[in-house]
Structure 1
Amino acid sequence: MGQNMKVPHTLVLLLGMMVVALVATWITPQGFFDTATTDSGRQMVLAGTYQLTEDRVLLTPWDLLKAIPRAFAAAQDVIFFVLIVGGVLSIARATGTVDALIGRLLEKHGDKPQKLIFMVVFCFALASSAIGTAGEYIPFVLILVALCKAMKLDAMTAVGMIIAGYGIGYGVSAFNPFTVLIAQQIADIPVYSGIWLRLAIFLPFVLIGFHHVWSYTKRVQANPELSMLKDCPCPLNGQAQQNYPALNKRHQTVLLSFIVTLVIAVWGIATLHWYLYELGGLFVAWGIVISIIGKLSADDAANKFIEGVSDLVTTAILIGVARGIALILEDGQILHTIVNGLSTPLSYVTAEVSAVGMLFIQTLLNMFIPSGSGQAYVTMPLMVPVGDLVGVPRQVAVLAYQFGDGFSNMIVPTNAVLMGIIGMAGVPYTHWFKFCLPLMAKLMLTASVVLVLAVMFGYGLDVQPQL
């Protein structure tokens, strides 16, 4: 039966989840928490204020259909960033720089893929931990896919490196302004306090991610038939080649301009609060610069840009539809009901069990609230009083939120960045889920142990507000 079972297309799975969400709005009690507006203008829920709504909303299949274009509008920043990056990278490839870079990396690391995998996982995790990078990794997807193909590896290895680094970096973040800073502010504890533990667990968690990706890579190297993607077409459409050009001065100038672009992006994110619109504009500028450096005619550059955009239309559609699931839950007034139903049982268990329960609740809720900062504003005002009630220090509650939000970013299909990365790499979601689930299990088990020990040893009691 397993041989004949056809795995549905990722788009079919996402549409199916939208239908399930619609049905859930018909049978689930509808209600809301009261909210207050923070100094930053975000809506934060108020603990203990949940109540059922007097006027139920009945969503119809027509509302579901309308939610799809609305979801595209809601996810437009990620969609257009992905399309722009795809187009600009197509220009970069036309200059020969990408192939020359791959050839150079093959010379240095072709026989040591484990070193390359560790470097990528570590660097991406470090960037996510420090400044909350996520969508910024999208430009690297096709480059790493091409590199892995040249090393006789599959696209799953490339995606594994990127997403393991991204998810683990968010999960054990030391400084991430979109998660740690916001959650600690809501919990009313000093910003960036407790950093010593987050720094101490960074490398062990990175090693878990590296080991998972490398173990898969070794199996595929030994027997290519074990590749999870052996029946999937490569997104490069045969563009990868065996004879790579030498890395000449022009290629080096293009690479230098790429590094300068990334430095400007990091500076903009850190100091000017840039996000995807600004980063998209920056990559358009880089595309113009490398067209000039690469001596491409305006028509050639335009054609290459459109080719790159065309290759990512499927990815853009998946990102848009993925956003529709949360939209249905919000329209149907059951998002707060789900949060309330999951958080209430925590007040009846011990502190250690409650801390682990917070981890699993945050993990589940990331399916419905894929924004890290958005999840903090909805869940932390509820988890903090529950923790105070059962003896979970607020610092531990923040850590549970980080673990749950960060690690589940790697697997929830409502995460637009995840869908963008696997879509660019040509990895079906079902195949990625099968690859990622064991990694999630390892990370969740380790995170649970860390949380239990954190409660036992009173992590965060030094900054716990006196009530």
Structure 2
Amino acid sequence: MNDQKLAAAKAEPGSIGEHRSTPASTTRDSINPYVLLFFMLIAAAVATWLAPAGEFTRTIANGVSFVVPNSLKGMPQRGVLPGFVFVALARGMIKSAPIIFLILFTGGALAVIEATGAIRCTLNAIVKRDLSSRITTIVIVCAVFSFLGTLGVVNNSVVAFVPIGLLLAESMGLSREIGAGVIYLGTYSGFNTAILNPVTTGLSQRLAGLPMFSGMSFRIAVYLVFALATAVFLAIRTRAYRVSGEAQIGRHRIDEAAPSSSERLSVRHLLVVGILLVCLSVFVYGASSSHWAETEMIATFLVVAVASGIVGGIAPSKLADTFLSGCARLIHGALIVGAAQAVSIVLSSGKIIDPVINALAGMLAPLSPTFAAIGMFVSAALMHVGISSGSGESAVLVPIFAPLGDALHLTRQVSVQAVLLGEGFVNCFNPTSGVLMAVLATAGIPYSRWVRFVAPLLLVWFVICVVAIAIGVAIHWGPF
């Protein structure tokens, strides 16, 4: 492995919660998402002087504002001045403060858990459990990472676990693609639905005025289909694979990058994992019964961090340092929420966001609600190539898609899911994703070969997305 790839493989993988590019892991030719968002912000400001202004009539139901279809009324032009662009950035950060702190504290808590070694040792124990059955082992590891992905525990930090997949593949005479795929594809089969991920699902639902993590039953069903399809794909690839000289992985390269596996799984590690699961379960109950939201989830992650640090034997000062370093690793992904929110603020201040929605509704109106929702999904997928941050894209699209869905007689839950599935579908072949590029560099897999490897699974994922959206429209998936 050359020096450049070694540097990419050893780079800090970011952390947990969302799919994004980081300055340390972006490809040389990719555009920083903050730069892209700033250009979008300038374009939005210019558009307020050119596009016609107007506003929908809105009604309030259960504390949520809904658009009244076909109620757009024109108004005088309200172009914003250049200085307001920077005011909008400040307002976006302030308005997004609860989500920003939730993202930061998520990173802090999970950094503490990582420092205890609980996740690493648990995964190592699972990997070493049974190497005699290749397919059984591949499916088990895929299922574990899928579960971690849908909880938002392992997303960007998946890079750190890829060497485990490579060691697993080598021990069973399998290819690099299968070794990287069982970790990366497993994780993002869960991330596609992100049942309890506060940075994607939680953020999108709050932007749409939905209760946090509402609609979970249907989302769990979709998650299970994604996970099953991915496990079957990897099992078929494993069965069909024949060992070739080209497919062998140099053990010296893997041992150099692999996490230490000398530490054995202990009772202390199991207690840390138990604390995480119990706290998440308590929050799910609180969110469904008492309408817990960002504040309570921030508190939950504080409890997770403190309790895990104490049980894991981390000294108080080191615990605080570890928590803060975990927060720091997610600043890039957290602040992008506020930057993206600034785009919506500029469009709203210029009163042109409703005419944009009306124009989109006009284009989609001839379509059935099902095809309109699928159109939202495709739009979100294309947008994700430019904005590889899940939270950043949600902050841009959900404020537009939620009222657009109102105008097209779609539930807001369906509109939100169209955005989330669009983001999730693209992740595993997005050339602007720093996380994917880091994974491929670590595994020594050329991008073109990776795309050929995952192409059949991507086709299946696309079908699952379309069917899930169609079912959501048919059942009027809610609560609204």
**TM-score interval for Structure 1 and Structure 2 normalised by the shorter chain:** 0.5 to 0.7
Q: Is the 1:359–1:403 contact (alpha carbons within 8 Å) kept by the matching residues of 2?
A: no
Alignment equivalent of 1:34, drawn from 57, 64, 74: 57
Match of 1:17 among 31, 36, 40: 40
CA deviation after TM superposition for structure 1 residue 424, in Å: 12
Matched, 1:104 2:125: yes
- d(CA) in 1 for partners of 2:220 and 2:105? 35
One-letter amino acid matched to 2:143:
M
Distance 1:36 1:85 in 2: 35
2:137 is the alignment partner of 1:119: no
CA distance in 1, matches of 2:460, 2:296: 36
Deviation at 1:205, TM superposition (A): 5.2
Aligned-residue offset at 1:283:
1.4
Q: In structure 1, which of residues 267, 270, 293 is the aligned counterpart of residue 311 of structure 2?
A: 293
Q: 1:177 to 1:10 in 2, by over 3 A?
A: closer
Question: How far does residue 306 in structure 1 lie from its aligned partner after superposition?
Answer: 2.1
Equivalent of residue 80 in structure 1, options 81, 85, 101? 101
Q: Look up the match of 1:150.
A: 164
Q: Which amino acid aligns with 1:297?
A: A
Cα distance change, pair 146–179 in 1 and its aligned pair in 2 (3 A): closer
1:408 corresponds to which residue?
422
How is 1:287-366 mapped onto 2 (pairs within 5 angstroms)? 287-348=305-366, 351=368, 355-361=370-376, 364=379
Equivalence for 1:230: none
Q: Residues 226-285 of structure 1: CA distance to partner in whole angstroms, max 9, x if unpaired?
A: 9xxxxxxxxxxx996233311112222222222211211221222122222211111111
Whole-Å separation in 2 of the counterparts to 1:437 and 1:277: 41
1:6 is matched with which residue?
A: 29
TM-superposed CA distance for 1:340, in Å, is: 0.8
- CA distance in 2 between partners of 1:374 and 1:381 (Å): 12
Does the 8 Å CA contact 2:49/2:80 hold for their aligned counterparts? Answer: yes
Q: TM-score, normalised by structure 2?
A: 0.64
Query: Alpha-carbon deviation of 1:38?
Result: 0.8
> What's the counterpart of residue 391 of structure 1?
none
Alpha-carbon distance in 1 for matches of 2:462, 2:316: 50
Following the alignment from structure 1 to structure 2, what is the Cα–Cα distance between the partners of residues 168 and 80?
22
Stretches of structure 1 lacking an aligned partner (at least 5 in a row): 129-135, 171-175, 186-190, 227-237, 385-393, 462-467
Compute the TM-score of the two structures, normalised by the length of structure 1: 0.65
| Deviation, structure 1 residue 81 | 1.8
Give distance in 2, aligned partners of 1:300 and 1:326.
40
Structure 2 match to 1:268: 286
Report the 3-state secondary structure (helix = DSSP H, G, I; strand = E; otherwise coil) of the residue aligned with 1:90.
Answer: helix
2:74 paired residue number: 52
- 1:151 aligned partner, one-letter code: G
* Aligned counterpart in structure 2 of residue 250 of structure 1, from 268, 272, 284: 268
- CA distance, structure 2, for counterparts of residue 309 and residue 178 of structure 1: 18
1:119 maps to amino acid? A
Distance 1:119 1:94, change over 3 A: closer
**8 Å contact kept, 1:75–1:323:** yes
Given that residues 233 and 457 in structure 2 are in contact (C-alpha distance below 8 angstroms), is that contact kept between their aligned partners in structure 1?
Answer: yes
For the pair 1:91 / 2:106, whether they are aligned, the reply is: no
CA 1:163–1:378: 2 relative to 1, 3 Å:
farther
Deviation at 1:149, TM superposition (A): 3.0
Over the matched positions of the two proteins, sequence identity in percent amounts to: 19
Which deviates more from structure 2 when the two are superposed, residues 251-260 or residues 317-326?
Answer: 317-326
- Using the TM superposition, name which of 249-258 and 18-27 deviates more: 18-27
Q: Deviation of residue 36 (structure 1)?
A: 0.9
Task: For 1:81, give the aligned amino acid.
Answer: L
Give the Cα separation in 2 of the matches to 1:292 and 1:199. Answer: 32
Task: Summarize the Cα distance change of 1:59–1:81 in structure 2 as closer, same or farther, 3 Å threshold.
Answer: same
8 Å Cα contact 2:115/2:322 also seen in 1: yes
Structure 2 residue aligned with 1:229: none
Cα distance in 2 for partners of 1:109, 1:143 equals: 25
Is contact 2:143–2:231 with CA below 8 Å preserved after alignment?
Answer: no
Q: 1:104 offset after TM fit, Å?
A: 1.2
Aligned to 1:379: 404
Distance, in Å, in 1 between the alignment partners of 2:248 and 2:48 is: 44
Uncovered stretches (5+) of structure 2, i.e. residues with no partner: 1-26, 167-175, 196-200, 250-255, 384-392, 441-446
Q: Once the 2 structures are TM-superposed, how far is the Cα of residue 328 of structure 1 from its aligned partner? A: 2.6
Q: 1:165 corresponds to which residue?
A: 190
Report the 3-state secondary structure (helix = DSSP H, G, I; strand = E; otherwise coil) of the residue aligned with 1:243.
coil
- CA-to-aligned-CA distance 1:22-81 (integer Å, 9 cap, x gap): 333332222111001112x11111112112222423342x22222222222222222212
Bigger CA drift: 210-219 or 313-322?
210-219
Q: 1:322 to 1:209 in 2, by over 3 A?
A: farther
Q: Give 3-state SS (helix, strand or coil) of 2:129's partner.
A: helix
CA RMSD in angstroms, aligned pairs only: 5.0
- Tell me the secondary structure at the aligned position of residue 140 of structure 1: coil
Report the AA paired with residue 59 of structure 2: A
Higher deviation after alignment, 249-258 or 309-318: 309-318
Alignment check: 8 A CA contact 1:314 1:423 kept: no
Number of residue pairs matched by the alignment: 393
What is the rounded CA distance, in whole Å, between the counterparts of 1:283 and 1:425 in structure 2? 29
- Give the match's secondary structure for 1:37: strand
Cα distance in 2, alignment partners of residues 272 and 454 from structure 1: 25
